[in-house]
């Protein structure tokens, strides 16, 4: 007997997210209408802002890269039944790792420093995830609570370090000095320029290849390795995991280490790829967007890729909108993004049951 | 939804059926759970509804009780059409249901549980007082003695079931539906329940008994309806039929009700358990000093009412739970310690079919093939260098599906899309295929249809005949008596007696399960 609301795959992965997105845009449109602007014009502005020119595409993909890392981080943990809300803090601390490598070894060859920076990002992110994971696995502390707390601790720690330790001497704003030339991830326009293809400058950089590789590796890990299998067993049915002899403690630790490592890679994209120094609050909420991305992408790398593109476009298009429309300010854009997260994340199932009933009826009448 | 006509007051002694279902139809997606089911239940009778799991009995009763809504068809109570969209509608129409899993708040007293949903006002005091008087009267009338002020969770299961019945009667039910009511009872408790039901019938109440046990249908019902694949296939007065005839109607073909097996030829002991003590997570001892041995080529059955330590015993033997004392000797080596977990025990040749398939034995959201390697995913045939061998897993699952006649033979289908019997066959195939020397089976045929029961029993006997040791824990006495070469009875965490398979009968086992010690063979 199937549970009510089970959908065919194409509807579950395609139609349902689309419906959710449309609902979010519809309500956003109403709000824009309410403040006296044209929703249609706003939509066009946003689309143009996200995809209208080479550099806007570059920005969209740059943001999307962030969301792929944090989205995958959430997804890996969710497959093990662990809800890691701490992507923001893990990304922040991962960035610290990248930054320390950039500051210390910036004069070396990029062939050494970039991989070193990636390794440091993973290690620092994973280390930040390890403490809540250990507390959950060994002491039963609730990981949702501890990871949220660790976001705050990360924030306070970074502020302290940037204000007191890493700050560039003789400067007012809490930022480190610039990394050396070796600690720079080549940007896409530079890379394309080298092979003779012109592309407008943007922060879009080769960390996006790392994001694609991460998608593939996560897919292989989750669905093609015995460890991924064990992780999914534990996530879906902890009793069955006990029965199978899969250690809950180990599973929680492994999933959180991978999750934290992935979140940490955000620092590679932001710091090595764009900022080239450590600055305050560079993750900018991407760790939380990762939760929505993972939800919308059904915790599958392909879905996460698509959802990241959407959110990248929303970020880039939204800032363009705030720039171009007099009545739409930055907060309006946050509202639109919030509505998309609300409908695609928190309310992702509101259309499920009616849609399933509709499809079932259509299928039933089609057969007879 | 409201009833189309006001809920009828039971018109005393009016003729016609108490409950009539006409052409009830219900689909869940692709599953046609009820196909134009019509059923007429006479007032003041006990009507049995029997069928395999997935035959549509529960769906039908859930429609009557308002958990599901029928796609088409109508329900008539005392000749008047009612529309039941939620449980409240059916309660108003005078229908009460006792679920297989009780719907009681354990921390509430009996009285508080009974008035739940009929509190009679904002302040509890008055309603409780009236309810107390009413319940004492009901208790006298129907012999349903229950301590009204006891905390419900502390009462034995049989007593909790009475609370459910009382609750239904207190809600003025004239039609009482009981869903598999004896699955948690000892045989004496079941007898007591049946006496109670007979009394209710004699007082003019109507009882619908949903069960898969032929014995109960024969013992107590006036009429019986057989369902198969969502439709009613047979209906008759109980006195005009036999268990064999009913079984054939249920399955749709001739079946063997008894397990056919040759006498056992037990060899040396493979597994020895000495003074095993197992505590639950609250530190309460659930198995107290169990000592027994399991020999090659024999099936040992453990009988007992569920909750008497069998689950903990199984978990200790399979390595899921660490015993607090005693020894488990496998080939002379003590494996009771924590460092010999379930995976290591599989490696040592102990396979385990858990009692609760969906809770533990399978991962509901996984495909059949992914479930067919659960616990064995690290074996070289299924993975190398950490990478799963997808092809080998698929072909292995296809082979098992063919060997165990698992239908549909679709390895990629989600396990919960299979019937209970086929799910169990996936688990049995997985465990037997691992070539164990000791197989531990909890509730081998719980929620399994009669056709598959026969198949699973045959496989267990085959394993025994191949010189392996098998331990079977079951709450179904028929199953224990049919399968086992030796029967150990558990009550209150202790072994209270041992009987050989041939000499066992329901009465002696029942007495021992109730905790009466002594040699029943005298």
Which pLDDT band holds residue B6 (cuts at 50, 70, 90)? very low
In this prediction, residue B14 carries a pLDDT of 46
User: Which pLDDT value is given to residue B156?
Assistant: 78
In the predicted model, is pLDDT for residue A367 greater than 50? no
pLDDT of B236 > 80? The answer is: yes
- Confirm whether B10 is domain-assigned: no
Q: How far away is chain B from the Cα of A8, in angstroms, using its nearest Cα? A: 11
Give contacts of A 95-114 with B, CB under 8 A.
Answer: none
Distance from CA of A263 to the nearest CA of B (A): 24
Q: Is residue B134 part of a domain?
A: no
Confidence of residue B2 (pLDDT cuts 50, 70, 90): very low
- Cβ neighbours of A360 in B, within 8 Å: 27, 29
Residue B514's φ and ψ, nearest 5 degrees, are -80, 0
Burial of B402 (0-12, 13-18, 19+ CB in 10 A): exposed
Q: Do B388 and A229 touch (CB under 8 A)?
A: yes
Cα dihedral value A139, A144, A149, A150, nearest 10: 80
A367 contacts on B by Cβ (under 8 Å): none
Q: Which of A124-138, A346-360, B75-89, B292-306 has the lowest mean pLDDT?
A: A346-360
Domain-embedded: residue B317: yes
Cβ contacts of B59 on chain A, cutoff 8 Å? 1
The answer to whether A103 touches A286, Cβ cutoff 8 Å, is no
Residue B503 located in a structural domain: yes
- Say if the Cβ atoms of B318 and A364 lie within 8 Å: no
Contact B28 A237 (CB under 8 A): no
Cα–Cα distance measured from residue A41 to residue A111, given in angstroms and rounded to the nearest whole number: 46
pLDDT at B300: 96
Contact B341 A245 (CB under 8 A): yes
Taking residues A297-316, report their average pLDDT: 92
User: Do the Cβ atoms of B33 and A1 come within 8 Å?
Assistant: yes
Lowest pLDDT segment from A20-34, A120-134, A239-253, B147-161? B147-161
Q: Could you say which of B54, B354, B365 has the minimum Cβ distance to residue A243?
A: B354
* B129 within a domain of the structure (yes/no): no
Tokens (6 digits) for A291: 């939760």
Residue B82 has φ and ψ, to the nearest 5°, of -125, 150
- Which residue ranges form the domains of chain A, and what is each CATH number? 44-347 (1.10.3470)
What DSSP state is assigned to residue A269?
I
pLDDT at B3 over 60: no
Cβ neighbour number for residue A354 with a 10 Å cutoff? 11
Query: Does A116 have pLDDT greater than 50?
Result: yes
Q: Single out the residue of B335, B345, B334, B325 nearest to residue B278, CA to CA.
A: B325
CB neighbour list of residue A52: distance below 8 Å, 6 or more residues apart: none
Res A85: pLDDT: 94
Q: Cα–Cα distance between B152 and B157 in angstroms, integer?
A: 10
- Dump pLDDT digits (tens) for B413-429: 999 888 788 899 999 99
% chain A with pLDDT above 70: 97
- Per DSSP bridges, beta strands B72-77 and B80-82 are antiparallel
Give the pLDDT confidence of A45-84 residue by residue, as tens digits.
Answer: 999 999 999 999 999 999 999 999 999 999 999 999 999 9
B31-42 and B17-28: which strand pairing? antiparallel
Output the CA torsion sign for B173, B179, B183, B184: negative
The model's pTM is 0.78
Residue B178 lies inside a defined structural domain of this protein:
no
CA distance B457 to B435: 17
pLDDT at B521: 44
Question: What pLDDT score does B12 carry?
Answer: 44
Mean pLDDT of chain A: 89
**A242 near B CB under 8 A:** yes
pLDDT digits 0-9 by tens, A192-218: 888 888 888 899 999 999 999 999 999
Contacts (Cβ under 8 Å, ≥6 apart) of A87: A70, A73, A74, A259, A263, A286, A287, A288, A290, A291
How many whole angstroms separate alpha carbon A201 and alpha carbon A273? Answer: 13
Taking contacts as CB-CB distances below 8 angstroms, the residues of chain A near B441 are none
In a domain, B463, yes or no: yes
pLDDT in tens, B209-221: 998 788 889 989 9
CB A114 within 8 A of CB A272: yes
Instruction: Write the pLDDT tens digit of every residue in B137-146.
Output: 888 877 777 8
Residue B30 has pLDDT above 70, yes or no: no
Question: Given CB atoms, is A288 within the 8 Å cutoff of chain B?
Answer: no
Suggest the residue from A242, A249, A353 to mutate for an interface test with chain B (most B CBs closer than 10 A). A242
Mutation target among B230, B360, B364, B393 for the A interface, most CBs of A within 10 A: B360
Got the DSSP string for B117-160? T---SSSHHHHHHHHHHHHHHHHHHHT----TTSBGGGS-HHHH
Once rounded to an integer, what is the mean pLDDT over residues A19-32?
Answer: 90
> Using 50, 70 and 90 to split pLDDT, how confident is the model at B360?
very high
Residue B497: name the closest of B510, B484, B482, B478 by CA. B510
pLDDT, position B517: 64
CB nearest A225 (choices: B31, B370, B386): B386
Which residue segment(s) compose the domain that B304 sits in?
269-513
Q: How far apart are CA A102 and CA A116, in angstroms?
A: 9
What is the interface size between A and B, counted as CB pairs within 8 Å? Answer: 86
- How far, in Å, CA of A71 to CA of A309, rounded? 11
pLDDT, tens digit, 9 for 90 and up, residues B146-174: 888 888 888 877 788 888 888 888 888 89
Which chain A residues touch B382 with a CB distance below 8 Å? 226
Give the other-Cβ count within 10 Å of B388's Cβ.
20
Binning chain B into helix, strand and coil, the percentages to the nearest 5 are: 35, 25, 40
Are the CB atoms for B448 and B424 separated by under 8 Å? yes
How many domains does chain B divide into?
Answer: 1
| Both structure tokens of A11 | 């509807």
Nearest to B378 among A2, A226, A237 (CB): A226
Query: Would the pLDDT of B1 be above 60?
Result: no
| Per-residue confidence (pLDDT) for residue B257, from 0 to 100 | 62
**pLDDT attached to residue A306:** 92
At A311, list the tokens.
């959110």
Coil vs helix vs strand at A95: helix
Interface of A with B in 334-363 (CB under 8 A): 356, 360
Q: What is the CATH number of the domain that holds B276?
A: 3.40.50.300
Q: Rounded distance, CA B383 to CA A44, Å?
A: 51
Q: Which residues pair with B176 in a beta bridge?
A: B96, B207
**Is B59 in contact with A224 (Cβ distance < 8 A)?**
no
Q: How far is CA B385 from the centre of its chain?
A: 42
pLDDT value, residue A6: 66
Half-sphere exposure of B456 (CA within 13 A, CB side): 30
Residues B117/B121/B125/B131 CA torsion (nearest 10 deg): -50
Residue B360 domain-assigned (yes or no):
yes
Q: Best mutation site among B363, B369, B382, B393 for testing chain A: the one with the most A CBs within 10 Å?
A: B363
């Amino acid at each position: 007997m199937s549970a009510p609301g089970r959908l065919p795959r194409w509807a579950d992965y395609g139609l349902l997210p689309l419906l959710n997105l449309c609902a979010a845009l519809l309500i956003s449109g109403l709000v824009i209408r309410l403040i006296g602007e044209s929703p249609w014009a706003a939509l066009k502005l946003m689309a143009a802002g996200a995809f209208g020119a080479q550099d806007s595409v570059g920005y969209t993909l740059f943001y999307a890269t962030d969301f792929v890392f944090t989205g995958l981080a959430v997804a890996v943990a969710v497959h093990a039944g662990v809800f890691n809300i701490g992507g923001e803090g893990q990304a922040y601390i991962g960035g610290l790792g990248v930054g320390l490598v950039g500051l210390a070894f910036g004069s070396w060859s990029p062939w050494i420093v970039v991989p070193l920076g990636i390794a440091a990002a993973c290690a620092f992110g994973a280390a930040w995830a390890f403490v809540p994971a250990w507390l959950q696995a060994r002491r039963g502390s609730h990981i949702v609570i501890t990871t949220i707390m660790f976001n705050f601790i990360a924030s306070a720690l970074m502020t302290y370090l940037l204000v007191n330790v890493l700050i560039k001497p003789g400067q007012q704003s809490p930022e480190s000095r610039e990394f050396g030339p070796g600690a720079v991830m080549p940007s896409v326009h530079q890379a394309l320029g080298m092979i003779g293809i012109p592309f407008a400058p943007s922060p879009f950089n080769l960390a996006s290849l790392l994001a694609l590789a991460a998608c593939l590796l996560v897919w292989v890990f989750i669905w093609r390795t015995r460890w991924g299998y064990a992780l999914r067993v534990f996530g879906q049915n902890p009793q069955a995991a006990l029965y199978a002899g899969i250690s809950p403690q180990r599973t929680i630790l492994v999933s959180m280490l991978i999750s934290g490592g992935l979140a940490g890679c955000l620092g590679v994209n932001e710091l090595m790829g764009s900022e080239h120094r450590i600055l305050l609050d560079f993750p900018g909420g991407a760790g939380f967007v990762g939760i929505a991305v993972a939800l919308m992408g059904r915790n599958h790398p392909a879905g996460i890729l698509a959802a990241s593109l959407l959110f990248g476009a929303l970020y880039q298009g939204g800032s363009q909108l705030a720039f171009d429309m007099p009545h739409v300010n930055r907060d309006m854009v946050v509202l639109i993004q919030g509505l998309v997260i609300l409908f695609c994340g928190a309310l992702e199932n509101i259309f499920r049951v009616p849609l399933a009933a509709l499809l079932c009826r259509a299928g039933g009448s089609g057969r007879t | 939804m409201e009833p189309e006509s006001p809920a009828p007051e039971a018109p005393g002694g009016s003729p016609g059926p108490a409950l009539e279902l006409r052409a009830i139809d219900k689909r869940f997606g692709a599953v046609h759970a009820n196909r134009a089911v019509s059923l007429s239940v006479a007032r003041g009778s006990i009507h049995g509804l029997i069928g395999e799991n997935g035959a549509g009995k529960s769906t039908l009763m859930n429609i009557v009780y308002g958990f599901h809504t029928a796609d088409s068809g109508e329900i008539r109570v005392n000749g008047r059409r009612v529309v039941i969209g939620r449980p409240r509608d059916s309660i108003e129409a005078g229908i009460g249901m006792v679920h297989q899993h009780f719907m009681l708040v354990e921390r509430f007293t009996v009285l508080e549980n009974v008035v739940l949903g009929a509190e009679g006002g904002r302040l509890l005091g008055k309603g409780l007082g009236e309810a107390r008087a009413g319940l004492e009267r009901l208790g006298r009338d129907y012999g349903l003695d229950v301590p009204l002020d006891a905390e419900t969770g502390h009462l034995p299961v049989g007593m909790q079931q009475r609370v459910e019945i009382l609750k239904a009667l207190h809600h003025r039910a004239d039609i009482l539906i009981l869903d598999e009511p004896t699955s948690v009872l000892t045989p004496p408790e079941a007898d007591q329940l049946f006496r109670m039901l007979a009394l209710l019938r004699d007082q003019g109440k109507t009882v619908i008994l949903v069960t898969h046990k032929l014995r109960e249908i024969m013992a107590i019902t006036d009429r019986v309806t057989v369902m198969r694949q969502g439709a009613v296939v047979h209906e008759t007065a109980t006195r005009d039929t036999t268990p064999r005839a009913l079984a054939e109607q249920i399955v749709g073909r001739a079946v063997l009700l008894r397990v056919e097996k040759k006498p056992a030829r037990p060899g040396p002991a493979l597994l020895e358990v000495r003074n095993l003590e197992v505590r639950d997570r609250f530190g309460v001892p659930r198995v107290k000093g169990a000592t027994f041995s399991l020999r090659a080529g024999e099936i040992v059955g453990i009988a007992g009412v569920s909750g008497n330590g069998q689950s903990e015993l199984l978990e200790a033997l399979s390595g899921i739970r660490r015993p607090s004392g005693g020894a488990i000797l496998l080939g002379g080596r003590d494996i009771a310690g924590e460092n010999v977990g379930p995976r290591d025990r599989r490696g040592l040749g102990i396979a385990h079919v858990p009692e609760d398939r969906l809770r533990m034995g399978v991962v509901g959201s996984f495909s059949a093939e992914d479930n067919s390697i659960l616990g064995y995913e690290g074996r070289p045939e299924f993975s190398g260098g950490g990478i799963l061998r997808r092809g080998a897993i698929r072909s292995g699952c296809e082979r098992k599906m063919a060997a165990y006649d698992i239908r549909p033979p679709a390895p990629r289908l989600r396990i919960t899309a299979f019937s209970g019997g086929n799910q169990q066959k996936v688990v049995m195939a997985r465990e037997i295929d691992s070539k164990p020397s000791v197989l531990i089976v909890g509730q081998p045929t719980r929620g399994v249809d009669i056709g598959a029961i026969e198949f699973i029993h045959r496989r267990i006997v085959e394993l025994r005949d191949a010189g392996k040791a098998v331990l079977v824990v079951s709450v179904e006495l028929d199953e224990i008596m049919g399968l086992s070469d030796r029967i150990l009875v558990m009550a209150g965490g202790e072994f209270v007696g041992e009987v050989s398979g041939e000499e066992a009968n329901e009465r002696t086992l029942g007495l021992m399960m109730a905790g009466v010690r002594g040699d029943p063979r005298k």
